[in-house]
Amino acid sequence: MQRFILSKKNYITLISAILIIIGFIAELGFKNEVIAVWFLTIASIIGVAPIAIQAYQAIRVKVVSIDVLVTIAVTGAFLIKNLEESAIVTFLFLFGSYLEQRTLNKTRSAIKELTEMAPESALKQMENGEFEEVEVDEVDVGDILFVKTGAKVPVDGTVLTGEGHINEASITGESVPIGKKKGSQVYAGTILENGTIQITADRVGEDTTFGRIIELVEEAQDSKSEAERFIDRFSKYYTPAVLVLSIIVWLFSRDIELAITILVLGCPGALVIGVPVSNVAGIGNGARHGILLKGSEVIHDFSKVDTVVFDKTGTLTIGNPKVADKEIYTDNEDEVLGILASVESESDHPLAKAVVEHIGDTRVYKVEKTDVIKGGGIVAQVDGHGVAVGNVALMEQENVYLSEKARADIACFEENGNSLVLASVDGELNVLMGIRDQIRPGVKEDLQKLKKLGVKNLVLLSGDNQGTVDLVARELGLTEAHGHMLPEDKSAYIQDLQAKGQIVAFVGDGVNDSPSIALAQVGIAMGGGTDVAIETSDIVLMNSDFSRLPHALGLTKTTANNMRQNIVIAVGVVLVLLASVFFSEWMNMSIGMLVHEASILVVILNGMRLLSYKLRY
């Protein structure tokens, strides 16, 4: 019965409104008080029913909720035969709940839109070579899928054949179509606007980029910030305090109507809902713009950040370095380059990939006894030769002699902003390569936006040489830049900043960035980075779009400010209403409930403004 009544709450609200209107028409229009009393009585009884049920459910779990206060107030008004008050208060409370639900549903629409974008089916290649439509849950890694024009890409995958343009707004927030061809990466939930493609499934189900977005955003919605937890604790004691206050007022004044009015006016509805609605709207805006905010606490922390620390490769730079300068210190160039390419093929490091790409087709040697030196490079045995490939520190560690010419070349390469790769065979330096990475387009302007948003310190920490790091720092206008930084050095530096009282955000994309991402007050991962970096981060910039960072900071600052506004509105309204009870003659239950419900709608609508937030500069 309780479930049935609660499920019909909106119909009860409508019936209550009709009964109240008929009652007032009978009393004011036809002077028939008997009919008015009957209709207002019925309106009061059916109106209070769902409220009383919710109050009963709250008391069962030992919580004095707003519904308890309203039920006591309405019952008291009914018993003293103030039927107009009891009927109007129940209607306003029910109608306010209806409007709250409607507006909250709109606030959550950004999250709902995400789940509705999730693909439900896929055209899968069967054993006979034909493509058949199956549920997306039936797709496994390695399956070959066919995507038609206008269809959603069902999984994360790699294009095998075909070409087309894909709208990746669900992933990046940008609706400009991206060209895709053989070898291109595609993401679940994106839409093929023209052409047809066949893809091989790389990630399926919840492991897809889109699946992780939905999961992270849903987790963020359910999390609570420190402000929300405080308000929950506050309400736990505040609501019973209002009940006690009304009893004390009644004991001293013997004015039951005054005591009942205090119950209604003291309801903390706007305070309870103001902060969560701001959080949900802020998280929703971020999701629509390719920014994953992992929880309400992140919003609070990031809004106060005054220092942002960056990794270089893949964060401030594109992460696709190329060999720009080269020196060979041996006559046996072909053999040495073949050995170097064979060793570097063992590594996934961007510099290693640049070396292999530059050398191209060459003789492949068998690499044995590979030893990766953290922050240094690789030491290996190749075709009976001892080989070391890495930075200057590794050469010194391996006792490789560096001639005056070699040291001059190293200094020159560093001045040109190169990252260095040195290769020695049997203890002699044979190759020096200078590798440069391009700075991401628009990064300088984005960093200026961070400064305008209140970030005081922009720091670059990189494992690269100091010359390259300084060059990047000068070009981008960074506050500090430190090279030759191992992962533990970065973590120690962040701890030092925190010890000085700075609130630090770290932005990175690699496995070696994960300790720093986890250690900083706010860890930010580029969406194209490693899974470890993404999992340990607090914020993810999808598609590695650095321009999302200023939007994320501006959004969290605006969201935090919006929360404070809602708290001020909620507390201010309650104080004004309670003061009006004691210092004015016009305040009554109906007016108080009307203002109370209006304040709830005001904080919800104020929070909803965040859905349309855009960075102004």
Report the alpha-carbon distance of residue 25 to residue 39 in Å, rounded.
10
Query: How much is the mean pLDDT over the chain?
Result: 83
Residue-wise pLDDT tens digits, 196-229: 999 999 988 877 767 766 665 555 555 555 666 6
CA distances to 180, 229, 306, 504 from 555, rounded to whole Å, are 31, 21, 15, 17
pLDDT of residue 223: 55
CA terminus-to-terminus distance, the chain? 56
**What residues are annotated to the active site?**
311
576 Cβ neighbours under 8 A, 6+ residues apart: none
Average pLDDT, stretch 306-321? 85
What span, in angstroms and rounded, lies between the C-alpha atoms of 39 and 386?
Answer: 98
CA dist 137 to 125, 134, 156, 200, 203, Å? Answer: 15, 8, 13, 15, 12
In this structure, of 168-172, 263-267, 561-565, the range with the lowest mean pLDDT score is: 168-172
Question: 226 near 195, Cβ under 8 Å?
Answer: no
| pLDDT tens, position by position, 74-103 | 887 787 777 887 788 788 778 877 776 765
pLDDT band at 410 (very low <50, low <70, confident <90, very high): very high
**Residue 509: which pLDDT band, with cuts at 50, 70 and 90?**
confident
Give residue 314's pLDDT.
77
pLDDT at 109 over 70: no
DSSP string for 520-547:
SSEEEEETTS-HHHHHH-SEEEGGG-TT
Q: Is 581 helix (H, G, I), strand (E, B) or coil?
A: helix
Cα 562 from Cα 275, distance rounded (Å): 8
Q: What's the pLDDT score for residue 256?
A: 82
Nearest-angstrom CA–CA distance, 326 and 596: 74
Pairing of strands 457-461, 480-482: parallel
CA distance 279 to 110: 12
Which stretch of DSSP H or E encloses residue 377? strand 377-382
- Per-residue model confidence (pLDDT) at position 533: 55
Read off the tokens for 76.
């008291």
- Using alpha carbons only, give the angle 239, 242, 243 rounded to the nearest 5 degrees: 95
What pLDDT was estimated at residue 288?
81
Percent of the chain with pLDDT over 70: 89
Q: What is the helix (H) or strand (E) element at residue 386, kind and residue range?
A: strand 385-390
Using pLDDT thresholds of 50, 70 and 90, give the confidence band for residue 27: confident
511 pLDDT exceeds 70?
Answer: no
Domains of the chain with CATH codes: 2-108+220-278+560-612 (no CATH), 120-154+156-203 (2.70.150.10), 291-318+439-544 (3.40.50.1000), 322-436 (3.40.1110.10)
Q: Is 177 in contact with 193 (CB distance < 8 Å)?
A: yes
DSSP string, 313-372: IIIIB-S--EEEEEEE-SS-HHHHHHHHHHHHTT---HHHHHHHHHH-S-----EEEEEE
- Tens of pLDDT, residues 130-152: 899 999 889 999 999 999 888 88
